[in-house]
Amino acid sequence: MLLPECGPGRVTSAQAHRAVEDGSALLADVREEDEFQAGHAPAAVFLPLSRLAGGADLPGRMDGRDLVLICRSGLRSQQAARLLADRGVTAVDVTGGMRAWAAEGLPVRDAHGAAGTVI
């Protein structure tokens, strides 16, 4: 279980990857569309912070899984976690974001499934 007892928490990219791979977490990328299209974690769902701030609902595919948020560097995902906490939704964010994810050698794919770039 990745989620903290109370309030938003942080996990490493390796912890997030393991949780997504074992099916215990849903990874939501909170960057904007051009960033997501250029390079994202293959299992990530697109849920930009701008939509969350506007009141968008969470993905319907949660199925009891932990919610892990990721952005480019970790700042927007922290904002998203706090915003969701204010709504009563617990989530963790990835320290270092997609930059850390890529630096760990974890997969990054573009909109066409090819090797992606973190912008």
pLDDT digits (tens, 9 = 90+) for 36-93: 999 999 999 999 999 999 998 887 777 889 999 999 999 999 999 999 999 999 999 9
Which of 44, 69, 71, 94 is catalytic? The answer is: 71
pTM: 0.92
Least confident of 19-28, 40-49, 54-63, 103-112: 54-63
6 is catalytic: no
Residue 58 has a pLDDT of: 83
Give the chain's end-to-end CA distance (angstroms, integer).
30
Distances (CA, A) of 106 to 25, 58, 63, 84: 16, 25, 24, 26
Helix (H, G, I), strand (E, B) or coil at 106: coil
